[in-house]
């Protein structure tokens, strides 16, 4: 194959979703590459995905195999674009044949954040009153919060970040649970009322990091993209993705993680919870960062021994029934 950075072709086409957050992330990647490779032209091409177009159905009921990535992946396979920028949490752990995860960027804070209506500005997640309406589109957040705070009322919320915040400010919700990273990237860090501690909510696999996907045979492009790779983030995210892949879970199931690195030691914590929050299994493994993917497998096996597979099987059955 002719490399996209050969002298015959000096333009590289970057694929992105059309959402405000996706474009902010994609232009950041473009600018980093442009700074390092001033002689190459980087063009951004936008596409709408299934997840962007269906806003009146809960994410889990749509299905999550490439919900926010499939159209971009087809663009790469058809050579309409050369690589795509994804929120790594949206990228399935099994990629289509011919595509590869070329780079993972330095992670923003991966934690979940509490955003509250003005009337609850003196509250934290554990002091919200009984019946307070909390909006989230994530089964992972829903399951963990129901486990900790069964007195709260949880309601699905869809739409882009501005739409969700407008609904909160209009009083449709008393609070929202959102990714801290997305708020920070959009310059809305002041809306973060509380960063949820890991004891309350383990974050999504890959949350806060960007994943750069391209054709697997374009070795020169893969080499070029390494300039924006962050090794520590990659180790952490490879462990998390291996854990999720080993459980055969998807982006829309109640599986949460937390990773930390202490020198050359990686500590991986994972949780699997039922949607009602009644059943929850959680464990931690640690080992060398160079063994990141095997640590993910080890943790998945531990949680299976504690009943994780039965919890997931019940969730998949419930989703298929459309409940």
Cβ neighbours of residue 77 closer than 8 Å, sequence gap 6 or more: 96, 98, 99, 215
Say whether 90 is catalytic.
yes
CA 232, 104, 52, 96 torsion-angle sign:
negative
Distance in angstroms (rounded) separating the CA atoms of residues 83 and 76? 6
**Which single residue is written with the structure tokens 């995210």?**
237
Q: The tokens of 169 are what?
A: 């400010």
Cβ neighbours of residue 284 closer than 8 Å, sequence gap 6 or more: 267, 268, 269, 270, 299
| Class of residue 76 by CB neighbours under 10 A (exposed 0-12, middle 13-18, buried 19+) | buried
Which one is catalytic: 64, 90, 174, 283? 90
Contact 269, 198 (CB under 8 A): yes
Cβ-based neighbour number of residue 106 at 10 Å: 14
What residues are annotated to the active site?
Answer: 90
């Amino acid at each position: 194959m002719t490399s996209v950075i050969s002298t015959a072709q000096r333009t590289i086409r970057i694929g992105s979703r059309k959402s405000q957050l996706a474009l902010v992330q994609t232009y950041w990647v473009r600018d980093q590459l442009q700074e390092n490779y001033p002689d190459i032209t980087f063009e951004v091409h936008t596409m709408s995905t299934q997840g962007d177009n269906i806003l009146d159905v809960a994410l889990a009921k749509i299905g999550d195999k490439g919900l926010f990535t499939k159209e971009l992946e087809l663009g790469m396979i058809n050579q309409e674009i050369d690589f795509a920028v994804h929120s790594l949490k949206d990228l399935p752990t099994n990629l289509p044949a011919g595509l590869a995860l070329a780079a993972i960027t330095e992670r923003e804070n991966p934690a979940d954040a509490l955003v509250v209506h003005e009337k609850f500005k003196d509250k934290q997640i554990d002091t919200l009153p009984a019946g307070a309406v909390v909006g989230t589109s994530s089964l992972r957040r829903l399951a963990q919060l129901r486990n900790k705070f069964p007195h709260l009322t949880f309601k699905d919320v869809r739409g882009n970040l501005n739409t969700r915040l407008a609904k909160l400010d209009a009083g449709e919700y008393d609070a929202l649970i959102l990714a801290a990273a997305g708020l920070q990237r959009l310059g809305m860090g002041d809306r973060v009322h509380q960063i949820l501690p890991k004891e309350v909510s383990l974050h999504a696999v890959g949350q806060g990091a960007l994943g750069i996907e391209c054709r697997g045979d374009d070795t020169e492009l893969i080499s070029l993209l390494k300039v924006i790779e962050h090794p520590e983030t990659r180790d952490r995210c490879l462990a998390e993705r291996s854990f999720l892949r080993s459980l055969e879970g998807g982006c829309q199931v109640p599986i949460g993680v937390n990773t930390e690195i202490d020198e050359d030691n990686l500590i991986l914590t994972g949780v699997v919870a039922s949607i009602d929050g009644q059943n929850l299994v959680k464990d931690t493994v640690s080992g060398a960062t160079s063994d990141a993917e095997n640590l993910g497998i080890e943790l998945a096996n531990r949680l299976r021994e504690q009943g994780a597979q039965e919890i997931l099987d019940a969730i998949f059955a419930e989703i298929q029934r459309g409940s």
